[in-house]
Chain A
Amino acid sequence: MPEKNIKGEAFEGFEEISIDYENIDVADIMSQIKKRISSQQKSSLQGEYLDREESSLYPPEFEAAGEARSKIINLLLRIMRPLSPLIKLLILPVYKELAENLARTTERSLRTKEYTKLLHSITHNIIVELTKLKIEEENLKVKTRIMEKDLELLQKREKALEEKVFK
């Protein structure tokens, strides 16, 4: 029976991977890892998208503060509403947002760099394969030409023999 990770040996962040320790199947473990990575990548992309949308609607700090807002603060805020853009600008920890954006951009650029490397490798392999195919094609062409010439020669010989036989 496949055993779920036993207590005390849980793989950090890999709770969903199950291993039958009596009968280890590397292909199965690898397919679980691959599945997990692809689902993680999908969810991280979705999460990123939602985060971006939400953050544009409600600044998280402002929203959190709203929960604890007392009536007095609400009143004060209502009075100060015309000045709220200015207050927001002064009290929001802008640097935090900047730092988060910077981290996100760095991560994205790293990912792009990896993609570029992969693309480069793929392009290189395609070029090598195409070159090989081209060489193969040229060789086949040459062979066909030689065979055509052989055939021509054989036809000529055939004619000459026929002429000699039927004379």
Chain B
Amino acid sequence: MKIAFVVQRYGLEISGGAELHCRWIAEHMKKYFDVEVLTTRAFDYITWKNHYPRGEDIINSIPVKRFSVKRARNPRKFGRIQDYILKNEHLKKDELKWLEEEGPFSPALLKYINRHEDDYDYFIFYCCRYYHSYWGINTVPNKSILVPTAEHDPVIHLKIFKDLLKKPRAIIYLTEEEKKMINSLSQNQNILGDVVGVGIEAPSNFSAGEFLQRHGIKGDYIIYIGRIDENKGCDKLFDYFLKFKREKTSDISLALVGSTVLKIPSHPDIFHLGFISEEEKFSVLDSALLLVMPSFYESLSIVTLEAWALGKPVLANARCDVLKGHCLRSNAGLYYENYEEFKSALNILLSSSRLRKAMGENGRQYLNKNYTWKIVENKFLSILNRLEQEK
């Protein structure tokens, strides 16, 4: 069986959640099928400018075909159109115009899918909100499987997506919350689908001592890993953490890992470690007391699962259904909606090592029950088997 993974960006350096999920799944499916990746030449998710060379490439023994982005996104124009369609009555053609502007606008990729439909048994499209998925699914609906990676984003309510979510042969959800949201949005319960998620494996040998010393981190700290961005709730996290420090006499520090698009407040107890390697990431996470996830929009939150793989509890933003759902199902993290709750939950977690340990253990169990590669692979295989039987 030959399967094509169609995704907006692909590469070892790309750490976006959906793209990483796609790469991991493709690499695991390689064991069972003939797998290929169809993607664009983009690296930057804001403009989709061509970055990688055109043509074929091989990444971790998977053939990757890259197609040019015909027109880069103009963020200002895109913002204007999005603003218009979210605030005004509009027609389907306006939504399609928005979709084209959102991109990645790569007609060459769609042309290839159209011409080579017979060469593949299934096309697995990533991210329902992008141009390639919408037109790709419309081009090969009978061979398409969608991984929507949908969040509680206002654009998901656009009419074009309601229709799109009824078209693929199967849908692979990342969480129960995503499935519930999409089912209620498009009434597509009749379409074959399952909550699959991703397999998490934490490396076993690492030591953070030297790394922490180099960055001047002494004593206990909590950690945030991800893009340091307003959309990820980091501005609120800074406000809450600084207020917490003002009100409490605590030695706790906040370590931040990831690239930043937000000004980080200058405070002796806030450390920005920048973009670090996977091994370093796991070592700083392992030395932290807990992971804090202030994000409003998450479709799975791989880093939360990684924290649980290391037996670390999580303090999450309750306004993100996915994070709250994870915490409630796993009993491995507390959550907050406002500063008072942040303060109380953090206080409780910091003052009881027993609670942190018990929650961390719950996180490990939750992971072993739902997010091992064996389970994920079996779920994928079962969906494909069912599709084959329906043929």
Contacts and interface: CB of A to CB of B under 8 A. Distances in A.
Interface of A: 5-6, 9-14, 17, 19, 21, 24-27, 29-30, 33-34, 36-37, 41, 114, 128, 131-132, 134-135, 138
A134 B89 contact: yes
20 contacts: A5-B352, A9-B351, A9-B353, A14-B344, A19-B352, A26-B328, A26-B331, A26-B332, A26-B334, A26-B335, A29-B334, A29-B348, A30-B341, A30-B345, A33-B334, A37-B340, A37-B344, A131-B86, A131-B88, A135-B90
A6 B328 contact: no
A25 B334 CA distance: 10
Contacts of B89: 134-135, 138
A9 B88 CA distance: 55
Interface residues of B, number: 31
Interface in B292-349: 327-328, 330-335, 338-341, 344-345, 347-348
A19 B344 contact: no
Interface in B73-111: 86-90
Contact of B328 (A5, A19, A27): A27
Contacts of A134: 89
Nearest to B157: A132
Contacts of B359: 24
Contacts of B86: 128, 131
A10 B154 CA distance: 43
Residues of A contacting B: mostly: helix
A26 B351 contact: no
B185 to A, nearest CB: 12
B264 interface: no
Give the top 6 A-B pairs by smallest Cβ distance, nearest first. Answer: A24-B331, A11-B351, A37-B340, A33-B344, A26-B331, A9-B352
Nearest to A25: B331
Contacts of B332: 26
A19 B355 contact: yes
B354 interface: yes
B355 A21 contact: yes
A25 B331 CA distance: 6
A8 to B, nearest CB: 10
B358 interface: yes
Contacts of A13: 347
A135 B162 CA distance: 15
A11 B362 CA distance: 21
B333 to A, nearest CB: 7
B113 to A, nearest CB: 31
Contacts of A41: 340
Most B CB contacts (10 A, CB to CB) among A27, A30, A36 go to: A30
